Structures are given as structure tokens and as C-alpha cells.
Structure 1
Amino acid sequence: MRLQAGGPVHGGYTIARVDGRVILVEGAAPGETVEVEIDESEKLWKGIVTEVIEPSPDRVPHVWDTAGGAELGYLRRSAQLAWKTAVLEDAIGHLGGPLQGHLKDAGLNVRVREVGPGLGTRTRLDVDVDEEGRLAMHARGSDALVAIDHMPLAAPAINDILGSQDDWAGTWRPGDRVRLVAPTGQGPVVSVGKDVYKAPGRKIGARVVERAAGYSWEVTATGFWQTHEKAPVTLLDAVLKGVRLRKSDRVAEFYGGSGLFTLPLTDQARAVRMWEGTAASVRDAERNAPKAEITRASITPSLLASGSEGADVVIADPSRAGLGIKGATALAQSNAQAIALVSCDPAAMARDVRAMIENGRSVMSLAAFDLFPHTIHMEVVTILS
């Protein structure tokens, strides 16, 4: 089917309308005339671009079409930022209820900001090992593996490993899952199962060192850490300055991970309590922030309510699913003077912030960052009073 792509929407699609039917189009730039192959298996049709008839001036040679991991790699960087801003605005408009008017009344603009260059910034890359023993990634939208010897989004140290796989012969086997890590505080490592290598045949401990904003963390190589090399300092700056942290403040932190926020918080606040559900992350956080009171727990609305009691500042960095309406309501109803919500999904953010506004909170700032260049993802930091 030939059609014209409209504006972008959540999930990496543009919207097209043909004979009254809405079609989600993958691989098109807004305004382009394209030919698509239609998937009619679901009620909402989806189309994948097979040919570009009239290209957008924003279309460029794809930075990484060898495999998945760069859904927007066919757009120039400025167009990617405009795409993500439009998706964020759409989420706020459709799911945010009073949030859109609230932001307008407060004079707060919605804009996704660029953070550093689009290539060579990714400090972690998870790959599979194919039947030939080569490191590989899945082709986009497929279970098929494609062997790779470079990945332009990854840090140079990771590409050095990809390009010298023969030197690592015997380190991994077909079917293994391998993580390549380029920590900011030490040299690169390769993680295979429970083993971590600094060089072929040279094992080291399970943790790597990350540094940002004058602090150092030890993080399990297979655990969670922000992938963009500038993400830690960007998020620390947005959160700690946003809540206007004072030395006398008591802080409640939820979904604290390995202690990205926890460590600086213990240096800059009176007392810090942190909750995290993953055992390995809790062990890392206890090592990184020994002054904090850290608890391993499943984070529920009731825990958010009880944990935020007596806190002057609340910080929450949930998974892509967000806090949920009940969780957001629990935090909004606390006595905290400031709440920082770090969201990696614009739809979840809009829903959660809406619930907070409807429970009496006001947005002081909303900052969105492109910490996942060439992909559809973004990070949003919302500060509420």
C-alpha cells in the first residue's frame, strides 16, 4: 500500500490514515510518501516501509541497519529530537489530563534535549553468540541472529572488543549471552555468565567502577546502570538541583538501584532511606552508600506511602511501567516538600504526574533528555512541589 506518513506516536511509529483506517507505520519519517507492507493480523493495522517514494529532507543513510537497536537511525539527529518531543507532547495531551494546561500555565516548555554525540556513547552492549561462535545481535523484529564486528552506538572500547573477537576465542560458546561493558572508571570488561574478564583468559571480580560528578560507584557488571556515558551526571544534576536539596533534608528514595542517587544524597542530605527490589543492586548500593539506610523490598503503593512518611524530599526512579496511579497517589499525598520522578516511558510519566497533580501537587520543572540516541527512548525528570 502507498500512503503518506503523519506525525510520530509512542512506540516508534508514524500515523497514517487511509480510507478512514488508522495504520501505524514503522520506518517512515513524518510527511514522507512510502510504500508499506501491511500486517492485518491485528485490529490496528501496522505497516513496514518497503520503499520510500518521496523522502523527507530529514532522512539520512541509516547509522545501523545491520541489526536492531537503532530504530530512528534513518533520521538526522535534529529530527530525532523533534520526533521524541512530539511523542512526549502527544503522551501529555492524551494521558496527562490537566498536565498539559498545568505546564502551559507555569510557562514550562516540553522539549527533549540532546546529550552529547549520537554515536559512541553506549557503555553497555548485550549480545548473543551464534552457532559459529561469533558475537551477534538480533535482526530488527526477528529471532534471527546477525554476526557483528562493530556497533556504532557503542563506546570505542566495546568496538575494540567486537573487532578483535578472535583474540577472545574460548571465552564464550554458541548460545551464550555476553555483556560488553566500558565503565567510566576503568578499562572495558566482558561478562559471560558469572565470569567477568578484563582480557582474554584474565578474570576479575564481578564489579566494575563507574565515576561521575566527583563520585565513584562499584556496580555489578551484569547489573543495571545507565547506558549512556553522560547519563549519570545528567540525571544527578537534574534531580539534585531540581529538588533544591538542603543539608537538613531527610530523603526517601525508591527504586534506588546500585546507588546512583543514594551516594551523593548521603553526602548532601541529613538522612537517606532507600528501597530497591533487586538483591544484587542492594548489595552494590550498600557498598556504595554505607551511610544510607537501605532495604530490599518489593515496592508497592503501601510501601511508597509508609516509606515517604517524615521525608522532606522523595526521589523515585521506577522501571518503564512507572509508579502506577496508586503509587503516584501515595507519593503525592505524602508531606514531602519536593518529589523527583525519573521516568523512561513518556506514557507512564504522563499518567503518574497526572495522578500527582490531581492529588494537589504542582510541577516545578519537567526536563527530557535523549540518553538513548537513534532509538525511540528518552528519560524525563519531573520535579513536583
Structure 2
Amino acid sequence: MSFSQATLIEGHKPISPASGIPAWDIDPYDVEILKDPNAYYAELRALGEVVYIPRYSILTVGRFETTRKVFSDHENFLSSRGVGLNDFKLEDPWRPPSIILEVDQPDHTRTRKVMSRALSPKVAKGFADLFHETADALVDRLLGQGSIEAVADLAEAFPTTVFPKAVGMKDVNPRYLVDYGAMVFNAVGPDNQLRRDAMSHAGEIVPWINAACARDRLTKDGLGALVYASADDGTLSEDEAGMLVRSFLSAGVDTTVTGIGNALWCLSQNPDQWDALKRDPSLIRATFEEVLRYTSPVHTFGRTAGQATEIAGFPVEEGTKVTCVLGAANMDPDKWGDPEKFRIDRKPVGHIAFGAGIHGCVGQNIARAELEAVLGALIKKVDRIEPAGDAVWRPSNAIRALDKLPINLIPN
């Protein structure tokens, strides 16, 4: 496809990149790239610190230091104008913007404090028994089957069981919870078939999510009640509290499903690392961090230049959309040395799979607690995790997730 044939995305202004920024005639949202992105990541890094993609009239970064700097620079690169390709200053989003993810200072501080209290390490520790008991029971049941499809049987089954209980939801529909996350994350990309397919369910899922997160449909002892308490003390309005509770579901289910599935894939593909983990279960946390670095569950998020600024010395116009390819940054050999190797002894401090700066993932304590419970149950009960067929990756405009993962769980 030539540049002259490119169809620029509606919803943000076209840009004229600064001299010296290489142009790359590629569609980063092509299904084949999304299924197997490592070659795209490598070429993006090889082209330079910042690359212009004419098809969408965006700048893109993928080298670690530059990506981390742009992603964490909340003063110059805004989230309030959308973390996808559409600029909310120019076009209304499909839903009200998230008041924690798609907001800037000073409003971000107010809502971040509420979510940080609700999702603190102390609160996450309080769910330990629920997480571990559920993981033990689920793994016991799956061991009776031997061969499982790990995405549906484990990666989706565990979060959609424990997370609604943690939130305090009285109404639970596992399929809607997973599909809602797919809607939210595919919506940050272009209006391609992936986005259209995901959004086709909005008419039934969104009203259900809104109703299930209302105060009267929540218990008084879950995360949702903690958020609504901030409406009682005047920190939030009632509507804002409801939006924050819904953000639990948009960001707290799909990414955890992805993290569990990706962990199982990594360990089934690297039996020596599974053996090392069984020998030393204290490496559970390091294993999860390496899974995050190695597979980057959120592969791409965007920012908008809120004023004339620069990236790596190149001038950037106000209103420029910049996509930060976290997956490419987390595979940068200049940062990691041997990024193509999955090593649980790496302790990859500084990876940006959970974001960076003030917009770092507020729910990471819960996500880590869930993953540690699942891996802990597997370590106790499973001798080997063996591939039982080819893994199938699920293309998404923002998430690097598996669609199918057939494996055999060999008991101790």
C-alpha cells in the first residue's frame, strides 16, 4: 500500500513529521502482525528513536528509554485526549472517558487516591485466602482432566470467579466480563474489523455492566463498596464512583486473564524454567515479572502531545498522536541484553508492561496476588506443563493475548 493510498484515521489531526524522522509504510494493526509481533517490534526499534506511520498519521516509539520517557511524561503527552488513536478533543469517545486512565492532573490525583486505597497491598493481602482456595480447587479439578484448553479452563475461569467476589458483585456473567475488556482494549485502535467485532456486543454488554456496578448490586464488603464510600465522604460524586467501579472490570479482568494465559504459555514452552520455579517457589514474583516483560499483555497505548514538545530531539507538534509500543520496549536488547530468552532469574525491574509514571497500573497489586495464587497452586500439584497442540494468539488492538492454549497438566 502506497502512502497516497493510505486512509488516515478520523478523529485526530494529520501531522507533518519533523525532518529526519523515518516514515514506515506499515499497518501495526494488521492481524498477522498482532498475532506475531516480534519482527515488527525489532524493525520499529531498528528504524530509530521515533518513527512516522503515514497510514494513521501518528508517531510511534519502541526503544525502551524513549518509550518509557514519553509514556511517563504526563505534562507534555496527555492521556485525557485518549489512549488510543482518536483524539477526544476532536471527537467524542464511544463511552465517557475513564476518570482514572483518560484524565490528567490535577483530576487524576483525586481519583487515583481513591483507587490506590481500594487496591492497596493491604487490601490485596486480604483476598489471599479467597485467591489461594479458589486456585487450589480449580487446579485440582483440572488435574482430573489431564489435557485442558488453558485459556478457557484456567486463564479465564480463575479471574472471572475471584474478581467479581473481590469487587463485591452480586451479578456475575463471565462471558460478559471477558468480552467487555475486549471491547475497551480494541476500541483504542483504528476502526478495523477487530474493533467492529468487539463493539458489536456493546448493546447487550454495556447496560449489563452499568447495572451490575450500581451500588445496590454490590455487597458492602468488597472493592466496590470502598469506592462508593468516597462518594459518601464527598471525594467523588455518585456517578464518578460508579465509573471507577466499572473501571475495575475494564482493566482488572482482561489483563489478568492475559497474564495467566501468557504465564502458562511461557512455562510450557520453557520446561527448564518451570523446573527452576518448582525448585525455588520464591521466584514466583520474578516469574510473573518476566512473563510481563516477555509477552507485554498491553502491547500498545497512546498519548497526545498537549503542546509543542520533542521526542529524542525531534520537534513534535501539539495534537500529535504518539503510540508507545510497550511490547517493543520490553524486548529491547539495549535494555535487557538477551530479551528473546525467557529467564525467571532475570528480575526485570523497570519493565513497562504495567505502564510508567502517574498512570502506572493501579491494579497491579491485585493482579500479582491472583497470579501468585495460580502459580502457587500449580507448583504444589503439577509436575510438568506440556504443550498438547499449537498455541493460537488472539489479535487485539491493544492486548497480546492467547485465544487457545492446549496443554497437559502432569500431576506430581
TM over 0.5: no
TM-score, normalised to structure 1, is 0.24
Q: Report the structure, 1 or 2, having the larger strand content.
A: 1
Please identify which structure carries the higher helix content.
2
TM normalised by structure 2 equals 0.23
